[in-house]
Amino acid sequence: MARINAPVKNKEELEVEIQDLSYQAMGVAKVEGYPLFIENTLPGEVALVKVTKTTKNFGYAKLLELIKKSPDRIESQNRKYMQTGIAPLGHLKYEAQLKFKQKLIQDLLKKAHLDDIEVQATLGQNPPYGYRNKAQVPVRKVNGKLEIGFFKQNSHDFMPLEHFMIQDPRIDEVLLAVRDILRDYHVPAYNEELNTGVIRHILVRRGHYSKEVMVVLVTRLKDLRQGQKIAQLIQATCPDVVSVLQNVNPKRTNVILGQETKLLAGKETITDTLNDLTFEIGAKSFYQVNPTQTEKLYNEAIKRAHLTGEEVVIDAYCGIGTISLNMAKHAKKVYGVEIVPQAIKDAKENAKRNFLAHNTEFELGDAESWMARWQEKGIKPDVIMVDPPRKGLTESLIESAVLMQPQKIVYISCNPATLVRDLGQFKSRGYEVTQPILPVDQFPQTTHVETVVLMSRKDK
């Protein structure tokens, strides 16, 4: 086993100054150039820490005492939020969170030798709490009682919680009402170790504008005794709950939802609007969890595309059509492609619902294949829109997009690291970033940041 030649030893206690904040929201101190990552510390703070782990290139330490505090620190009223990882930036003032997210992108660009690209100030949210329109909360038995809560970060230690800070406050109220009804009906909570009990999770969705609420009881067994009575009582207690469903997940898995969903009371879906477009949302629908910031994000993407009503647009990760339909209001034609069959079915329905079926086409499959087919048909997009998952774009998709020679490529990213990697790829193929990158804070109190980037083809 290779000897670790670090300037610190395990269990050693030392005083350090925090110099930076990592993308995981851990304070970074340096001992003879050796980085130590320390939870719950901020740049500018001086701390007494205890080394917990060392590797060849970096180590971890635990905070024992804060000797000097940052003026940007918020003394969290509830330490539980920090322990669950629900709000890893909950101890940092919001203005400083926005600067942290801007700097995160700037640092990555610098590392990739792309620091000539400017990054605007992060577009924030006011207030930066209570924004999530969806909650998936585990249920466990604690001291003989059914409880809702969360797990401590990197562990299976369950912590009961009643307020979740970043969720719509009405969702918290509904969760507590459902918890109390399940207790009254003596429904057994799930036991992960033994794979026994009934209720695994409670999922709640709420339409930001419609105010409609959906409750999904995720159960281990198909048979939920008195399920319909429970559902009726949920609706009687919370009149805004228009949909109560049961989802069955018998597997020993971390995946929350199982394959089978059945209606217990009300209707199958709720509706909500996004930039005045109406969407139907089911138990399993992919729908943005922060609608007000999503509206800003999409509007910024449309602004950068400079749509006049004459353009042909390709949306390479169209999902249920949220971006495609937003763009279709301002473009001549939008072609969307997605690999998830249900999403394409939903996208087509959403196009009809919003009277945009005449200038939208949605196809099932991977974007590379469809781009090749569209090219063969002589379709020439003016704008290609991409909003990929965290892993970013594949090289083949970048190649396919460039081959179509659009004047503009608009990239919405949920992962700055893969965004910066992909920008380098586009640059080498003749596209350049022509406006400062805009970070949008979709998930306040967390380290996640969305970005909107406009790239234009260099005229040869």
232 is in an annotated binding site: no
Exactly one of 221, 256, 414, 417 is catalytic; name it: 414
Which letter does DSSP use for residue 357 in this model?
A: G
Q: State how far the Cα of 101 lies from the Cα of 446, in Å rounded to an integer.
A: 10
Q: Three-class SS of residue 368?
A: helix
Instruction: Check: CB of residue 342 under 8 Å from CB of residue 350.
Output: no
Distances (CA, A) of 331 to 41, 275, 320, 326, 388: 48, 16, 18, 9, 21
Sequence-distant (6+) residues with CB within 8 A of 316 are: 337, 367, 371, 384, 385, 386, 387, 388, 397, 401
Helices (H), ranges, 155-290: 169-184, 227-237
212-229 burial string, b = 16+ CB within 10 Å, else e? bbbbbbbbbeeebeebee
338 is in an annotated binding site: yes
Q: State how far the Cα of 306 lies from the Cα of 300, in Å rounded to an integer.
A: 10
In the residue annotation, 318 being an active-site residue is answered as no
Residue 357 CB-density burial (10 A; 0-12 exposed, 13-18 middle, 19+ buried): middle
185 is in an annotated binding site: no
Q: State how far the Cα of 126 lies from the Cα of 405, in Å rounded to an integer.
A: 39
Q: State how far the Cα of 400 lies from the Cα of 411, in Å rounded to an integer.
A: 15
60 is in an annotated binding site: no
* 444, two tokens: 């306040």
Residue 60 CB-density burial (10 A; 0-12 exposed, 13-18 middle, 19+ buried): middle
Helices (H), ranges, 151-212: 169-184
Residue 71 CB-density burial (10 A; 0-12 exposed, 13-18 middle, 19+ buried): exposed
- Residue closest to 166 by CA, chosen among 88, 103, 257, 104: 88
Which active-site residues does the annotation give?
414
Report the binding-site residues.
288, 317, 338, 387
Residue stretches of the annotated binding site for S-adenosyl-L-methionine: 288, 317, 338, 387
